[in-house]
């Protein structure tokens, strides 16, 4: 992040909108456009930064989410107890594990969609549990065919795009 002293303003007439939003006059905007004023006061720099984030951050987040949901996937880091339902003769005792696993895009998309739809905490917990079941425990269908995994007692869970 740049500080107020590092922020140079170079405006172009077609990009100047709503000076009142920044708490400045149209005349001040015109001075920036003509490069008569190069660096804003610290409080104005903070307002400019806030307005830029307000406008651009949602667009950037949406683009990153779209990439994660279509091609990139997400990384999940969790420390939680995993409960198991498995074939007879195997243990079904829950175990506390710390896992960091890259999840494929389809699970990222489901997680984002559920979050935007206002899913419950349990529904949001079920998606990474299923993803970890398929990717980590079942190795994408190469082992543990009948295994069902439940994510319980979450110590922490983080998602990285």
- Average pLDDT over the chain reads 78
Strands (E), the chain: 74-85, 95-103, 148-160
The answer to whether 107 and 114 are in contact (CB under 8 A) is no
Phi, psi of 153 (to 5 degrees): 45, 60
Complete DSSP assignment for 82-140? EEEE--TTS----EEEEEEEEE-HHHHHHHHHHHHTT--HHHHHHHHHHHHIIIIISTT
Reported as a single tens digit per residue, the pLDDT across 19-29 is: 667 778 888 87
Selected residue with higher pLDDT from 130 and 83 = 130
Query: Partners of 79 in the beta sheet?
Result: 98, 156
For 81-95, what is each residue's pLDDT tens digit? Answer: 877 676 665 555 667
CA 33, CA 49: separation in Å to the nearest integer? 18
Query: Which 8-state DSSP code applies to residue 137?
Result: I
Residue 70 CA from chain centroid, whole number: 14
In the predicted structure, residue 106 carries a pLDDT above the cut 80: yes
Contact 61, 120 (CB under 8 A): no
Residue-level pLDDT at 117: 93
pLDDT of residue 56: 72
How sure is the predictor about 68, in pLDDT bands with cuts at 50, 70 and 90?
Answer: confident
């Amino acid at each position: 992040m740049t500080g107020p002293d590092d922020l140079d303003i170079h405006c172009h007439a077609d990009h100047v909108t709503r000076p009142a939003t920044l708490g400045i006059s149209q005349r001040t905007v015109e001075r920036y456009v003509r490069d008569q004023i190069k660096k804003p006061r610290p409080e104005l720099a903070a307002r400019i930064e806030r307005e830029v984030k307000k406008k651009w951050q949602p667009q950037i987040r949406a683009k990153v989410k779209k990439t994660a949901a279509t091609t990139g996937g997400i990384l999940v880091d969790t420390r939680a107890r995993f409960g198991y339902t498995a074939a007879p003769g195997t243990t079904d005792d829950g175990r506390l594990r710390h896992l960091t696993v890259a999840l494929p895009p389809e699970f990222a998309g489901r997680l984002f969609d559920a979050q935007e739809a206002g899913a419950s905490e349990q529904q949001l917990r079920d998606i990474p549990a299923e993803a970890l079941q398929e990717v980590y425990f079942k190795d994408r269908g190469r082992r543990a065919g009948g295994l069902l995994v439940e994510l319980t007692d979450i110590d922490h869970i983080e998602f990285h795009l």
